[in-house]
């Protein structure tokens, strides 16, 4: 069982021909409400890739919670660890997407900021995956109480300093270029995957590059959740014992497929889609 400790958001997505400049107003070409949040996205991505998954997260006592959890519930993610907290609303993400698939994202944490976890939440996990949209206190508990021998992965996004003890516990850290720089030198002591956008990704062990992969060619539609699909696919592949190069190729394919479709969770690929994409290369 993969236990994901993370965030749940409802994404409010505006489509535009291009992203506006500071102070500029543009007319949108579309608007949708889509389930999202880095923790929820990664939980559903791992489930669609065939792994059993439980999500530990927080939502508000509002109608948005049901909307934000709908695809997770329908996709078979165990939501027994999702708490409803009084007061704050369910998290929101305000997303602008242009015709090239580029995005700007502003997150309103809401109930995510109130997430508190206990050691029992991760005590029986075979693997724990967490993100920095969850409070750092929850990330620290997840790292400290993940069972000995359990795989612990951190998607260190959004960029912020991470306690050295969390990085030392991590069997895998996933970051983009900016997030990698924010981690500092401590991160280089463990396994780390650095995503490079259209260039693909590299995998480092003890600071040494051990694998590099490029994504399959796709027409970019919406980059939202592409990094989440990458992270989940890499974790699932590593748990299945795939060699580093193969695991990284799986992850790049999952991320590219996600970027080729609109929305966060609706765009996440299945294992069959990833395998088909890799077979066609």
> Is 66 a catalytic site residue?
no
- Detail the DSSP E strand segments found in 37-123: 53-60, 78-85, 91-97, 103-108
Provide mean pLDDT across the span 31-39.
95
Position 181 scores a pLDDT of: 85
Residue 26 has pLDDT above 70, yes or no: yes
Q: What is the pLDDT of residue 207?
A: 87
Q: How confident is the model at residue 182 (pLDDT cuts 50, 70, 90)?
A: confident
CA distance 220 to 223: 7
Pick the CATH number of 2-7+37-88+115-279 from 3.40.1190.20, 3.40.50.460, 3.40.190.10, 3.40.50.1820: 3.40.1190.20
Residue 123 to residues 39, 117, 145, Cα–Cα distance (Å): 18, 11, 7
Closest by alpha carbon to 46, among 174, 169, 179, 137? 174
The predicted pLDDT at position 185 comes to 63
- What tens digit of pLDDT does each residue of 108-167 get? 999 999 999 999 999 999 999 999 999 999 999 999 999 999 999 999 999 898 999 999
In the set 78, 98, 121, 228, the catalytic residue is 228
Q: Which residue has the higher pLDDT, 266 or 187?
A: 266
Q: Where are the alpha helices (DSSP H) in 193-243?
A: 226-239
Average per-residue pLDDT for the chain: 93
For the chain, domain boundaries: 2-7+37-88+115-279
pLDDT, position 189: 53
**pLDDT (tens digit per residue) in 221-263:** 888 889 999 999 999 999 999 999 999 999 999 999 999 998 8
DSSP type of residue 206: T
Q: What percent of the chain has pLDDT over 90?
A: 82
Q: Distance (Å, rounded) from C-alpha 194 to C-alpha 178?
A: 10
Residue 188: its pLDDT value, please? 58
């Amino acid at each position: 069982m993969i236990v994901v400790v993370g965030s749940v958001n409802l994404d409010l997505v505006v489509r535009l021909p291009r992203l506006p400049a500071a102070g500029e107003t543009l007319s949108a070409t579309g608007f949708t409400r889509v389930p999202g949040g880095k923790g929820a996205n990664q939980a559903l991505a791992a489930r669609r890739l065939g792994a059993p998954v439980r999500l530990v997260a927080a939502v508000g006592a509002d109608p948005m919670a049901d909307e934000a959890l709908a695809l997770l519930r329908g996709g078979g993610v165990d939501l027994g660890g999702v708490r409803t907290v009084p007061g704050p609303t369910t998290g929101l993400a305000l997303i602008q997407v242009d015709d090239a698939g580029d995005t700007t994202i502003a997150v309103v944490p809401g109930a995510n900021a109130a997430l508190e976890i206990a050691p029992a939440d991760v005590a029986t996990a075979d693997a724990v995956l967490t993100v920095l949209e969850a409070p750092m206190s929850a990330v620290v508990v997840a790292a400290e109480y993940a069972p000995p021998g359990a795989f612990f992965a951190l998607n260190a996004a959004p960029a912020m300093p991470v306690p050295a003890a969390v990085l030392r516990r991590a069997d895998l850290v996933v970051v983009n270029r900016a997030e990698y720089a924010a981690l500092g030198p401590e991160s280089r002591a463990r396994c780390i995957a650095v995503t490079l956008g259209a260039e693909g990704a590299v995998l480092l062990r003890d600071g040494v590059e051990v694998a590099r992969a490029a994504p399959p060619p796709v027409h970019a539609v919406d980059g939202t959740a592409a990094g989440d699909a990458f992270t989940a696919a890499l974790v699932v592949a590593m748990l299945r014992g795939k060699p580093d190069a193969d695991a990284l190729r799986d992850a790049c394919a999952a991320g590219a497929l996600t970027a080729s479709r609109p929305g966060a969770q609706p765009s996440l690929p299945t294992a069959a889609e990833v395998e088909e994409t890799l077979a066609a290369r």
